[in-house]
Amino acid sequence: MVCENFDYSTFNNNHGELENDRRKKIAIVGGGNWGSAIACVVGKTVKKQSDVFQPIVSMYCRDSRKPGDKSPSIADTINSTHENSKYLPGRRIPSNVIATTSLLDACSSAHILILVVPHQGIPQICSELNGKLQPGAHAVSLTKGISSSPDGAKMKMRLISEDIEQALGVECSVLMGANLAGEVADGKFCEATIGCKSLKHGEELKMVFDTPNFRIRVTTDFEAVELCGALKNIVACAAGFADGLGWAYNVKSAIIRLGLLETKKFVEHFYPASGTEGHAYFESCGVADLITTCYGGRNRKVAEAFIKSDKPLQQVEKELLNGQSAQGPPTAQDVFEMLEMHEISARFPIFESVHKIFVGEHCEQNLYDAVRNHPDYD
Amino acid sequence: MVCENFDYSTFNNNHGELENDRRKKIAIVGGGNWGSAIACVVGKTVKKQSDVFQPIVSMYCRDSRKPGDKSPSIADTINSTHENSKYLPGRRIPSNVIATTSLLDACSSAHILILVVPHQGIPQICSELNGKLQPGAHAVSLTKGISSSPDGAKMKMRLISEDIEQALGVECSVLMGANLAGEVADGKFCEATIGCKSLKHGEELKMVFDTPNFRIRVTTDFEAVELCGALKNIVACAAGFADGLGWAYNVKSAIIRLGLLETKKFVEHFYPASGTEGHAYFESCGVADLITTCYGGRNRKVAEAFIKSDKPLQQVEKELLNGQSAQGPPTAQDVFEMLEMHEISARFPIFESVHKIFVGEHCEQNLYDAVRNHPDYD
């Protein structure tokens, strides 16, 4: 469901008068490429809505310096130069975004947490923040991946937003969509989808992110939104393999379509109540993000280089991503293990083949057969 | 609805014995790029199913030589060299495909007509064939475009397949999908969707086209299938403009997504009973064809060149398409006129802007605004 008409006069202030301490404070958790691009957007939107949001946005950037390294931290660099020269060089981060290496300093007074860290970093972040947040705070996750929780002998499928909700005790929405970080930071036009549990939070988050050049739509179909964001990275790896192998346009389009169908099937299997009408797939998080990622994203790039060389994945990532990693390969592994545990991997041959190519168990021909003999054609 | 289980033992022969004259004869009408690629596929499939189909496929190629031109016709060239050197050079057309410049010779004994001519050529073809076909013959249209019929003061929306059905008095299915002609002719993997009224004909057509490298799915949602095939050419023109203007990945993806939404909205408006569950958009004729066309097709190419130069459209087409034309511009015009007549063009700003750019009434900024202020964001 998409709702656009939320009454902010009531939401902001029931008493007709704004007090400073009723304005919402925003914290960004994550100082990578995407976190920095989002800081460029959010720094500007809060300044324009100073009746609703506190003008200072805090931004947690992990101190990744090795012991003895005397160079400034990323947080220091951002605060002095207003640029993340390591992960988003050449783009100005607004000066009302104040970076810090202290997670608690960044988050303890915040009402809205924007989580933009790799999946692997989530447990540590949540454990440090547990019990330290403002009452009524809520979060939005921009992290792509899937999680799991013990369920007898099997593992139960979990969303990362569910992990965050459980670990922090706050409601967690998601933001996914067709947005390459550099283009977003440059203020080029793009779209995104917010998947939320309550429209009150969804519409508040729309105010945080929406600009004339960053158009946001809100839907309560949050499971499909989050899984579109996670699984598209696997499809993009398949698309990257196709590019690396010199396959034709028609094949790549078939891979993207079949990948979208596997995504839909995955959502339907694990969250049968979500996405039944298929709306999420027509949102930016669906078909648009898939196209952007399969043509312009880092997962496509890494997969293309991986299949063309004999280098290990880590080496390829190191050469291409400047210290960051691609989320497709670990998501493919997590998804494949989940499918195996639930004995349904045969229905997802593209997801399976992507994982097996990365771990050396499949070759080019297996992927081609996964496409040609896809169960969708039966 | 997609059906895969059709009993061909009953269909082929109710009496347990095949007779030569019960085998179906196939005719291809159209000797252009796509008609020739389809001849490569169909020539092979019928040879492998000689119990069902007559091995000789006839192919009508219009004699486009000017008076006094002594060079061989395309039909002669195909019959002597098994290649359409003008429109599909370098690809071998199977020798059981026999070309002719006589429409009646090609079609009068055929049971299945494959129509692969530009929209503009359909009325003449149908008028010549009217009353001259085998009893029980049926057709499949690969032509992209929309039609109309008088309806009081307004014009009523019509499908090209409806025109064919009315003019020929035979049932007409459609085949649409992500298939660039050259790649199909080369036997590279691709997919297509057949939209049919009766599954008996749909499944028979699947036998005509389906190969391990040309995978066919059948659905009765024929209006959505046909309109996906027609309207994607308009979206591809918008994508080509975006490329020509150097717009970013995110913008192009947004254009493709919004174009898909306009397509869906168009189908829902004119054929409210079709495509309500959105399945056709997940078929090859939907998202896959859209991606292929927006990245690799001739409409994208023509639109990109058009917006980068000051040349008239016809000149650009002449330079790029070797005498063929792109279907996007005339379809955009037909669609815009239909939308205006029904007073709903404001809901289709991308379709509108594409047409108006081609006729010089819109510039770059109008298209950008059509995207940024799209009613989907309201």
CATH number at residue A280: 1.10.1040.10
A194/A221 Cα distance (integer angstroms): 9
Among the listed residues B32, B159, B146, B135, the one whose alpha carbon sits nearest the alpha carbon of residue B89: B32
Residue B277 has pLDDT above 80, yes or no: no
> How far is it between the farthest Cα atoms of chain B?
67
Domain boundary among A168, A192, A220: A220
Does A58 share its domain with A167? yes
Does B302 share its domain with B321? yes
B170: Cα separation from own chain's centroid: 18
Contact A167, A130 (CB under 8 A): yes
- Region A244-261: what's the mean pLDDT? 95
Torsion over CA: B83, B86, B87, B89 (sign): positive
Instruction: Give the pLDDT confidence score for residue A292 in this predicted structure.
Output: 94
Residue-averaged pLDDT of chain B: 92
Does A207 share its domain with A295? no
Structure tokens at B6: 């059709």
Query: Is the ipTM beyond the 0.85 threshold?
Result: yes
Percent of the residues in chain A that have a pLDDT greater than 70, as a whole number: 93
Which CATH number goes with the domain that contains A210? Answer: 3.40.50.720
Instruction: Give the pLDDT confidence score for residue A151 in this predicted structure.
Output: 84
Domain boundary among B176, B204, B220: B220
- Region A63-84: what's the mean pLDDT? 95
Contact A180 B249 (CB under 8 A): yes
Domain boundary among A170, A202, A220: A220
**For A288-342, what is each residue's pLDDT tens digit?**
999 999 999 999 999 999 999 999 999 999 999 987 789 999 999 999 999 999 9
**The residue to which tokens 């097996």 are assigned:** A356
Contact A249 B183 (CB under 8 A): yes
Percent of the residues in chain B that have a pLDDT greater than 90, as a whole number: 86
B132/B126 Cα distance (integer angstroms): 10
Does A117 share its domain with A254? no
Does A186 share its domain with A287? no
Contact A257 B291 (CB under 8 A): yes
Does B215 share its domain with B247? no
A299 is annotated as contributing to ligand binding: yes
- Region B262-272: what's the mean pLDDT? 96
Does A121 share its domain with A247? no
Nearest by CB to residue B189, choosing from A254, A264, A284, is: A254
Please report which confidence band the pLDDT of residue B21 belongs to, taking 50, 70 and 90 as the band edges. low
Closest residue in A to B377 (Cα–Cα)? A217
- Region B223-239: what's the mean pLDDT? 97
- Region A19-31: what's the mean pLDDT? 86
A3 occurs within a structural domain: no
B189 occurs within a structural domain: yes
Instruction: Give the pLDDT confidence score for residue A14 in this predicted structure.
Output: 35
B296/A251 Cα distance (integer angstroms): 12
Nearest by CB to residue A287, choosing from B189, B190, B257, is: B257
B282 occurs within a structural domain: yes
B32 is annotated as contributing to ligand binding: yes
Percent of the residues in chain B that have a pLDDT greater than 70, as a whole number: 93
Please report which confidence band the pLDDT of residue B178 belongs to, taking 50, 70 and 90 as the band edges. confident
B3 occurs within a structural domain: no
Q: Identify the three-state secondary structure at position A290.
A: helix
Q: What share of chain B is helix, strand, coil (3-state, %, to 5)?
A: 50, 15, 35
Active site residue B232: yes
Across A18-22, A79-83, B148-152, B333-337, least confident range: A18-22
B2 occurs within a structural domain: no
Among the listed residues A239, A166, A172, A231, the one whose alpha carbon sits nearest the alpha carbon of residue A202: A172
Among the listed residues A333, A320, A145, the one whose alpha carbon sits nearest the alpha carbon of residue A244: A320
Best to test chain B binding among A214, A249, A369, A376 (most B CBs inside 10 Å): A249
Across B75-84, B102-111, B274-283, least confident range: B274-283
Contact A250 B190 (CB under 8 A): yes
B255 occurs within a structural domain: yes
Best to test chain A binding among B214, B257, B299, B373 (most A CBs inside 10 Å): B257
Chain A residues in contact with B213 (beta carbon < 8 A): 372
**For B291-340, what is each residue's pLDDT tens digit?**
999 999 999 999 999 999 999 999 999 999 987 789 999 999 999 999 99
A298 is annotated as contributing to ligand binding: yes
Instruction: Give the pLDDT confidence score for residue A277 in this predicted structure.
Output: 65
Residue among A232, A264, A301, A356 flagged as catalytic: A232
Across A98-102, A272-276, B255-259, least confident range: A272-276
Beta pairing class for A97-100 and A53-60: parallel
Residue B180 has pLDDT above 90, yes or no: no
A1 occurs within a structural domain: no
Please report which confidence band the pLDDT of residue A57 belongs to, taking 50, 70 and 90 as the band edges. very high
Which domain covers residue B268, as residue numbers? 224-377
Residue B41 has pLDDT above 50, yes or no: yes
Instruction: Give the pLDDT confidence score for residue B4 in this predicted structure.
Output: 40
B144 is annotated as contributing to ligand binding: yes
Contact A305, A247 (CB under 8 A): no
Residue-averaged pLDDT of chain A: 92
Q: Domain count of chain B?
A: 2
Instruction: Give the pLDDT confidence score for residue A21 in this predicted structure.
Output: 58
A4 in reach of chain B (CB within 8 A): yes
**For A112-171, what is each residue's pLDDT tens digit?**
999 999 988 999 999 999 999 999 999 999 999 999 988 887 789 999 999 999 999 999
B1/B28 Cα distance (integer angstroms): 27
Q: A351 CB contacts (<8 Å, ≥6 apart)?
A: A231, A234, A259, A262, A266, A332, A335, A336, A339, A345
- Region B235-244: what's the mean pLDDT? 98
Instruction: Give the pLDDT confidence score for residue B20 in this predicted structure.
Output: 52
Strand order in the sheet with A172-176: A97-100, A53-60, A24-29, A112-115, A138-141, A172-176, A190-195, A214-219
